[in-house]
Structure 1
Amino acid sequence: MITLREIMNMPCLSRAQVIAGASGIDRHVSSVTVTDVPDFYQWLRGNEFILTTGFAFQGNAESLVKSIPFLKEANVSGLGIKFNRYLTQLPDTVATVADELGVPIISIPYECSWTDIINPIMTEIINLQAAQLERSNHIRKQLIEQVLGHGGLLEIARLLVNFVQNPVAIIDLASNQLFSSYSNMPILTGTDPVSGLYLPGKDEALTVIQEIPKISRIRGSNPRVIVPIEALHTKTGYIVLLEKNRPFCPEDIIPLEQATIVAALEIEKMEEHRKAKRNLRHNLLRQMFEDDSFSYNMAKMSFQEVGWELGEHYVVTAIDIHIEPKNPAHPMRSIWEIKEYILRNFSRLFTSGVIIGLDGGQRLIVLHPINLERNTNAELDLFTKELKSKLSYLLKEMGQETAFLNIGTGRFHEGYKGIHIAYKEAIQALTIGLRIFGQDHITHFSELGLYRIFHHEAIRSELELFFQEMLNPLISNQKENKELLETLRVFLETGGNYRLTAKKLFLHHNTVRYRIESVEKLCNVDLKNDNDRLNLAISLKLLPLFKTADDPFV
């Protein structure tokens, strides 16, 4: 794009002079327009060189002063004024504001016609645009040929160096891989070698150079330019230009823009290969969990074929995701899209020893390797919390902060056979935890207590019958008996102590006595009887397992 400084050197403006706002002389110019109305700034698009006779401002210097900030905000390239017709000179107040804001004001010779100015400038702009288009097509052709010739992201990066004259790296976010044309890409202290390139460090500052396509610059000891690679509104990678040989310049935009398009296609192709491998991995996990004849040696060999190294000792975690749309401004992704995103990006947040896949119920299953010498409950709890934190980070990247992560973890069991047991426990912890604690909770199998027995399928129908017989008189009339149920729960927890129950519920102890008597009449029990108290206590424990979505007791 041509600048105002370059236009001032053209023959058509050889006698024009910059009389104010000279600091903005290097603004880009995309068009030339003529206006003589006072509120012309309402219809500006940016980068215009505006010509005027000053008719709108004759005798009203104040209106010209007020228009300068609007020109700045509209990103106008400059204002050319013909003096000696309506304005004899530029008021000092206007010059002062123009100098402060860097809005160039040009004195145009009176005898110059608008056509003699506009035509040469627009011809130059169109010629430059045609040249840029030709260069863009040439670059795109070379990049496409590189990809069609089975060149990957590394070859794209090396080819891009020829156009930008600086080292280039292309980052694939899903695999957290760096494809660099330069062997000495900086490794920033205290950061991941890959993310440290596209994220600003502690003593660095990031500024946006351009919005479309979005180009940012990180200033510091390793100045670099960052361009995101996107596919279907999802960020899949970055192109990083290291300003080693020369500073970034506007001519670099076209090759970078074309490279992001081709790199996005290449990353998508790589992702399809990874997706096929993930499907094979999912099938292997399901076989390991469901097929007793699938031995450790068979599993180890099969895992190696898909790039996994199977150890012997693991803790198993099961994860499910629930979405509740809360902000209509953010589009809701499908559960499948979210899980796919997690599977694609999991490796850049966890070590290679951690295994993730989908089981037959389409739940995310994570196998975390265990060192027998350091196997402690505290370490397992720490990993589970770290897992949730990092998965939440991936959800945030997708703009899905309202999604709930429900997590169940099995106990540790030694050896390959122990993985199968731990998997069943993780599924049970996930399922029961969701019923007991609700959404967005981490449930450890070791915390389930009696619920491990209560949830057993073989006794479920008998338990439900027992639950209905004991509590149905209370739960059948939900609105009226909610207070009775809560009072009963606290009364049993306090060992049948009326005064302590009253204190916990902020009630008078006579109110507690009245409610307990009401419970005894409704349920036909005697709470002084140990068996009746035990039966009701068990029934209350069963409440989360048999509750309904509209249950007010939940």
Structure 2
Amino acid sequence: MNFESKLSVQEILQNKHFGHAKVIAGKEGLCRPVRWVHVLEVISIENLLNGNELILSTGIGWQGDQNAFALLVKKFIDSNAAGLCIELGQYISAVPQEIIELADTHNFPIIVFSKEVRFIDITQEIHSLLVKKHYQILSDLEEYSNRLNQLLLSSNPQQKILQLLYDYLGMSIFYISNQGEVKVIPKKSSNEQDEMFNLLKNNQIPKHLNVAHQSVQALNQTFADLFIISESEAITEFESLILDRSAIALAQSLLRELYIEEQRKAKEAEWVSCWLEGEHSNEQIQQYLSELEPTLKPNKCTVLLCKADNLDKIISEITYLKVFISSIFDQRGIFLLTSIQKNQMVFILLNKRKPDDFKRRVQEGIDCLKNSDFIETQNISQLEFSVGKFVNNLSHIKNSYQTAKETLNIRGKMPNELSEYFYEDLYIFRLVLAANEQGVLLEFISDYIGPVLEHDQQTNGELLKTLKIYLQCKGAKKETAERLHIVRQTLYHRLEKLYELIGNDFMDPYKRQAIEVSISAYEYASASNESLEYSSYSVSKSS
């Protein structure tokens, strides 16, 4: 069923007011759509037309001036007007051959009235037809939307929606999912389908084809692309609206499927929790995954922790949140299993693509989450992420889980310039954490930078900051002074004091490494306890 949503010049000619009208030029353009009727009697028409207007005129504005007449017709053509209707008589007796040829060249209809007509009757009648046409469009859209709603309540609604779209428009339908699944109605040969797929993908549409596109979106994510392709006439506004309604219905269907799938996964959360605690063998895990997703063959995995202060307050929306997060990573070739634990979500990330760029895709997924409008609408506060160790053996996921928790712990205490999500990017802070757990961290700090800390606390000085920047600049005094925003002489005085406190050999490789670790350890410990005093680091000689 193909509903005509436009009022053409040809249809208007069937109106009673055009009984004595004659088309003298541009007969090939009678299919042009008419959106409005406009009476024009002036030559200067800049900014007066929006396109698809049927112009009515007596010719009073250019009477006797053929050049002005020709220029005006050219302006009508450039403005994409639907056509020109002229009343012959008092102001113009005939249309020059030059203008007829110009109109024929551009398929621009020129219609003449040989008898006097009332423009007000014509405009009133045509505007009435336009209103009826728009009302019919709304009625047809309502009917189509009702059909879509009925299909959404049936089994396998996706294929039925695509078929309905084809039945209504009679155009080729292309549905391309993010996973590369392609559905085509009517069916085409493999070569034809591949050729059209490449043209759509690369946006290289031949001129003889008319294409309209709509994304299938849900939760601010694009899951697929829907195309309608006409090999004859241009795609109308009504057909574009039908396409839009179909894309929305497909998104609703897809969202329902994802929601049901996520609820199914939620029932398996206990099994996932046991996996995180290392209670399943590699064989048990492989069997479970094959039953869950037969085509899933992960080659690498890790654990992502997502922590939020108010996660417990949005528990009613947690399924949609999980669907949203799963969709983001699925688009990047990553399969998710989820476990909810107090104020954090634990995701097991299973890589489905080549392992070389797994970390980059995980990073992209996290960045997408952080910048998402959907996350903002959920009013989730203080959202934090951490990624554990990447492991190849599925039974080693406990190790990744433990390191993800360590990463989250360290990230809360790290200096601002280090804000990586990944355990492997914590560098020296992994040793700092281990030293702190073993109770040797404070002694280590005291041994290498204790005198500097004591001096700063007693004098409210900036020797520690100076030492840190000086080491970062590899001993370059000019760069150090610039970064500290001090003059060179002040830097020299501070360096002399540092030589006095920790020795003039602190740039020696091994001692320098120990001092740099001590500074990082101090920043970590300070973040853990903001009221830390130097006395905490003092180690009694008697001990």
TM-score, reference length from structure 1: 0.66
Q: 2:369 & 2:112 partners in 1: Cα distance?
A: 56
Query: By how many angstroms is 1:541 displaced?
Result: 2.4
Q: 2:369 & 2:494 partners in 1: Cα distance?
A: 49
Q: Which of 537, 544, 547 pairs up with 2:516? A: 537
SS state of the match for residue 116, structure 2?
A: coil
**1:209-229 deviation per Cα after TM superposition (whole angstroms, max 9, x unaligned):** xxxxxxxxx438998653333
2:494 is matched with 515
Q: 1:488 & 1:383 partners in 2: Cα distance?
A: 38
SS state of the match for residue 399, structure 2?
A: helix
Instruction: Tell me whether 1:30 sits opposite 2:8 in the alignment.
Output: no
2:206 is matched with 219
Query: By how many angstroms is 1:51 displaced?
Result: 1.8
Q: Which of 367, 371, 376 pairs up with 2:350? A: 367
Matches within 5 A, 1:292-331: 292-293=278-279, 303=289, 306-307=292-293, 314-318=300-304
Q: 1:188 & 1:283 partners in 2: Cα distance?
A: 48
Q: 1:93 & 1:2 partners in 2: Cα distance?
A: 29
Query: By how many angstroms is 1:153 displaced?
Result: 0.7
2:333 is matched with 350
Query: By how many angstroms is 1:130 displaced?
Result: 4.9
Matches within 5 A, 1:47-196: 47-55=52-60, 75-86=80-91, 104-171=109-176, 173=178, 177-184=181-188, 186=190
Aligned CA distance change for structure 1 residues 478 and 200 (closer, same or farther; 3 Å):
farther
Q: 1:68 & 1:544 partners in 2: Cα distance?
A: 78
Number of equivalent positions: 496
SS state of the match for residue 219, structure 1?
A: coil
1:420 is matched with 398
Matches within 5 A, 1:249-264: 250=236, 252-253=239-240, 255-264=242-251
Q: 1:367 & 1:386 partners in 2: Cα distance?
A: 12
Alignment gaps of 5+ in structure 2: 1-5, 309-316, 376-382, 531-543
Bigger RCO of structures 1 and 2 (CA < 8 A, at least 6 apart): 2
SS state of the match for residue 26, structure 1?
A: coil
Query: By how many angstroms is 1:343 displaced?
Result: 1.1
2:262 is matched with 275
Query: By how many angstroms is 1:156 displaced?
Result: 2.0
* Conserved? CA contact 2:337–2:349, under 8 Å: yes
Query: By how many angstroms is 1:421 displaced?
Result: 0.8
Partner letter of residue 429 of structure 2? Y
1:237 is matched with 224
Instruction: Tell me whether 1:265 sits opposite 2:240 in the alignment.
Output: no
TM-score, reference length from structure 2: 0.67
Query: By how many angstroms is 1:29 displaced?
Result: 0.9
Query: By how many angstroms is 1:259 displaced?
Result: 2.8
2:378 is matched with none
1:326 is matched with none
1:200 is matched with 200
Aligned CA distance change for structure 1 residues 510 and 233 (closer, same or farther; 3 Å):
closer
Query: By how many angstroms is 1:509 displaced?
Result: 9.2
Matches within 5 A, 1:352-501: 354-355=335-336, 357=338, 360=341, 361-362=344-345, 364-368=347-351, 382-388=357-363, 408-412=387-391, 414=393, 416=395, 418-429=396-407, 432=410, 435=414, 438=417, 441=420, 443=422, 445=424, 448-456=426-434, 458=437, 463=442, 466=445, 472=453, 481=462, 485=464, 487-489=466-468, 501=476
**1:427-482 deviation per Cα after TM superposition (whole angstroms, max 9, x unaligned):** 4356647836857857452x64542131246368964994795654687799983x
Aligned CA distance change for structure 1 residues 234 and 384 (closer, same or farther; 3 Å):
closer
SS state of the match for residue 112, structure 2?
A: strand
* Conserved? CA contact 1:154–1:180, under 8 Å: no
Aligned CA distance change for structure 1 residues 288 and 80 (closer, same or farther; 3 Å):
same
Partner letter of residue 143 of structure 1? L
Query: By how many angstroms is 1:420 displaced?
Result: 0.6
Instruction: Tell me whether 1:341 sits opposite 2:331 in the alignment.
Output: no
Q: Give the CA RMSD over aligned residues.
A: 5.5
Q: 2:460 & 2:78 partners in 1: Cα distance?
A: 60
Q: 1:337 & 1:73 partners in 2: Cα distance?
A: 50
Aligned CA distance change for structure 1 residues 460 and 478 (closer, same or farther; 3 Å):
farther
Q: 2:520 & 2:360 partners in 1: Cα distance?
A: 27
Q: 2:301 & 2:279 partners in 1: Cα distance?
A: 21
Q: 1:428 & 1:222 partners in 2: Cα distance?
A: 57
1:209 is matched with none
* Conserved? CA contact 1:410–1:429, under 8 Å: no
Partner letter of residue 266 of structure 1? S
Partner letter of residue 29 of structure 1? V
Q: 2:459 & 2:497 partners in 1: Cα distance?
A: 15
Query: Rg bigger for which structure?
Result: 2
* Conserved? CA contact 2:445–2:519, under 8 Å: no
* Conserved? CA contact 2:22–2:111, under 8 Å: yes
Q: 1:146 & 1:408 partners in 2: Cα distance?
A: 42
Query: By how many angstroms is 1:20 displaced?
Result: 6.5
